[in-house]
Chain A
Amino acid sequence: MPTLRDLRIRIKGVQSTQKITSAMKMVAASRLKRAQESIVNARPYARKVFEMLNHLVIESDRLNNPLILKREVLKVALVVVTSDRGLCGAFNTNILREANNFIKNECEANSIVPSIFCVGRKSYDFFKKRPYPIVNYISGIFGKLKFENALTISNFLVTNYLKGDFDEVVIIYNEFKSVIQQKVVRETFLPIPFEYKKEVELKADNYIFEPDKIMIFERMLQKHLRAHIWRILLESNAAEFGARMTAMDNATTNAKELIRVLKLNYNKARQAAITKELLEVVSGANALRAN
């Protein structure tokens, strides 16, 4: 049975934790609003660039572009996008579990060598203790996302892909579905996965191209790769704030419940102590009177 003093200290501790979690929730909520806005606005651009590229590719797949051509996969680069900071529920755990499963089931089972590209500190912390080579590591970009960040990442991946350092690039990230929902997504970044459609193929011959197919195609490819990474960074950023907000909201509710139980125990203990004291006084008085 804890003493009154112990309980009082405990209640104070939980109360200050509750204050912190609710403050973190507020911060996440306000940041979430901006992050959500930017991802919702960025999605159509990324989608349309890819769509336009899809209209071109039938004509241009004859060009045998190395960014589209599938090759035999011996080495895979795995880009793992997590947050820099914790306290956001299962956000990072889900990503890292998916990454681990992918390495175990798809890479090691087919004797493919995975190399890891860590985006966010949490994924670096996870993989530096593991035997897989880390080819690159970027952190601290999520506070203030810049388009240059997407550029750096996409340039690194494309250069090394073309050099033959890896035959496939796979990205694992959290997609922002709603404030309370994140979805772990695994996407092939390179070679670019095009959908081949018959109707598009028929149309593609009739397009007027200005200045010419090849130039448009290369420019659009570059645009697509950058827009793709940019979208992923924004998705992950918004998802992180959403996850943190929900996690902190849960923590605050739990703290509230904990405080309620502790207060009940405290009052019970307080009342027991008063009753005990009263009993002592009364029985003391009775003893005196009997004499």
Chain B
Amino acid sequence: MMPETLAVADRLSRDLLRPVFQTTGKFYALVVILGVIVLSGLATWGYQIYYGFGVTGYNWPVYWALHETNFVFWIGISHAGTLISAILRLVNATWRRPVTRCAEIITAFALMIGAMFPLIHLGRPWLAFYLIPYPSERGIWPNYRSPLVWDFFAINTYLLSSLLFLALPMIPDFALIRDRATGWRKKVYARLSLGWQGTPKQWHRLETAMHIMALAILPIAVSVHTIVSFDFSMAVVPMWHSTIFGPYFVAGAIFSGIAALIIVMAVLRRAFHLESYLLPLHFQNLGKLLLLMSLLWGYFVFNERLTAWYGNIPHEMNVFWSTQTGEYAPLFWTMVLCNFVIPFPLLAIRRLRSVTTAVLASCCVVVGMWLERFLIIVPSLSRKSLPYAWGSYSPEWPEIVIMVASFAAMALLYVLISKVVPLISIWELKAGEQPAAHSPTSVHEAETAGELR
């Protein structure tokens, strides 16, 4: 670390800790606005509990609709963070450094919000403990054959692992804040940093632990969305009972996750003036991943649709045609437009690639992937095997308010955490900007002097 590197380290700390130490009026205004929306969502949930599901658009035969769409959507968004961060860590992609924490935070919050929706869907949420395996005095144990119990284990494992994966690399940054803070803040960060000193042993153990956790978290992330797909594919419902659903859901989750990450990064870049850290290169690289996932998504949709069409099973064809040319066709073709037709040229043509186009493509993908979740759930339930069991669904205001509140909750949690921890890992950035140890000249000199390992 040369003196100029010390200046870089100082600039990094100053820029990235600014949101933690400085609070503007905009912050309070944003917290109030988002807080009001979240509170209205909670109040609507209370209203739904008090008056029952009759106040929603849920009716026979469509008993899964907007809440389930949001559940699958948010669990999908959660794949942005930990999965991408783990892959980039394992392949040692150096450009990952400013991106990983933004991504890991999305995972933690999206999982928390997503996991709320099964509870919101329960008419009596206080009975949710039925899913928890414990020796009941009535001799009733949860049925381990039920996909909902699999969800319980998968989502909780992923949530706990993701929180730990997010929290461990925060410890050195908490120590940095501890050493700069005063008063009550110093006491709080002294506890949060767990007495971190930055000894070689601590650094080595932290990096080893992060490597092992990255290896462990990859299969967990894949399993989570596969198990969410089992909620549908284990049921003998037209267009659900499909072996392709596992990988199709995982690909869709990563697709929507990357899109969400690009949007969040763009907002943070603008709001906190992080243009020197979240570079066009990051958006370009994530845009390439998004393009890849768009192609993969198109491939899966084609496979799923072609197999159903070729099979020509009457009850599947009813669902199939309702989405291609029937009442759900406008939503289906909007989804194709948003997930493939618009993002593909924006991301594929080199001349069009920029931060703005990456964000534009990502916004389209988020809308498209939300529609995809809706189109997986509702048309299949509204066109079941026999025509007497046909119906339709249109959401009422409680589902819509709760959905809007879930988006506000995501934004609110992000705004609040920006006051607690730097949104870009400072120590990882410093480690990436270490010319003294890495430049060929100095490495050669140091090796000659026997100082490098």
Q: Note whether A and B form a binding pair.
A: no
- Chain A residues within 8 Å of B, Cβ to Cβ: none
